[in-house]
Amino acid sequence: MGMLCAVSFNRYGRLYYLDPGDLRPQVGDRVLVPTDDGPEVAECVWAAQWVSEDTSGFPQLAGLADEDDLRRDDLLRTRKAEAKVAAKRLIREHALPMKVVAVDHVLDETASGGRTTIYFTAPHRVDFRSLVRDLGATLRCRVELRQLSARDSARVQGGIGPCGRDLCCATFLNDFEPVTIRMAKDQDLPLNPLRISGACGRLMCCLKYEHPLYAESTNYPASGQRIETPEGTAKVVSRHPPSETVTVRQISDGSVRRCALSDVCGPRQAYESR
């Protein structure tokens, strides 16, 4: 048992959970989060509170941000904005098939200018050596370009999914697990790419959430099978393991209704081939 708080580097961005230590930040407070490039300013979006989980493995807050930290953060955001504008302009001038997704900048006290990393997407590998030279001369710092996959691009940019909520990859998913078309088939979902694809154009990550439940549900009648219901013979339209129900179409009048699994899958229930 210990205390945890949640912070975000961008409004509506990914949440990071940290051990507040002796600090008690409130919602809206600016705090310092330890990173590989040194402490960075973030906003507390979940005040420190006791949780039942073991918090020994969580990183600890570096402190509360003071005026110098806030001025440094404003300078960092300005450098990022300038780099993004310059990168888009030079990409157009070089006529490269690239799209800037995000920009990261690290202030370096010992070297002039620091280091700027530009993340981009492209339909194929791009020769950007001349672009890097022009960016370095324009921004007067060391420049790195990194190409992102479709899923990583969605994670960085964020957005709204078909469910109306923020993208899972941009909020809480840490790793991308394999998602296959078989998962959609097992869940009786339409195999229309527009219906089962996410903002990244790949299969939606949420197809994996309920798939184990469908894979373990071996006692359900298959779609198209004839079964006996309390209202008479019907044909199975779809199954719903999360609620332990099946949707059927009555043979007598063609009406569609949802039945409990226990009503159509009793110990004496026999299925007929369609």
Q: DSSP for 153-193? A: HHHHH--B-TTSSB-HHHHT--S-----HHHHHHTT----H
Structure tokens at 144: 């790195």
CA pair distance 143, 139, nearest whole angstrom:
8
48-97 confidence digits (pLDDT tens): 899 888 888 899 999 999 999 999 999 999 999 999 999 999 999 999 99
Residue 114 scores a pLDDT above 90: no
The answer on pLDDT for 265 being more than 90 is: no
Assess contact for 184 and 203: CB atoms under 8 A.
yes
Q: Under CATH, to which class is 70-148 assigned?
A: alpha beta
What is the residue-averaged pLDDT of the chain? 86
Which pLDDT belongs to residue 96? 94
Q: Is the pLDDT of residue 228 over 90?
A: no
**pLDDT at position 270:** 42
Is residue 101 within 8 A of residue 157, CB to CB? The reply is yes
3-state class (DSSP) for residue 50: strand
Q: Who's near 86: CB < 8 A, 6+ residues apart? A: 135, 138, 139
Looking at residue 111, its pLDDT comes to 55
pLDDT band (50, 70, 90) for residue 137? very high
Q: How far is CA 226 from CA 69, 186, 208, 237, 274, in A?
A: 69, 19, 29, 10, 6
pLDDT of residue 92: 94
Please give the pLDDT value at position 254.
85
Instruction: Using the predicted structure, report yes or no on whether residue 273 has a pLDDT greater than 80.
Output: no
Closest-CA residue to 22 (of 65, 64, 79, 70): 64
> What percent of the chain shows pLDDT beyond 90?
41
Residue with tokens 């004839």: 226
Average pLDDT estimate for 32-38: 88
Structure tokens at 224: 């198209």
Q: Rounded mean pLDDT of 241-248?
A: 86
pLDDT score of 245 more than 50: yes
The reported pLDDT for the residue numbered 103 is 93
Residue 149 has pLDDT above 80, yes or no: yes
Of the ranges 9-13, 34-38, 143-147, 266-270, which one carries the lowest mean pLDDT score?
266-270
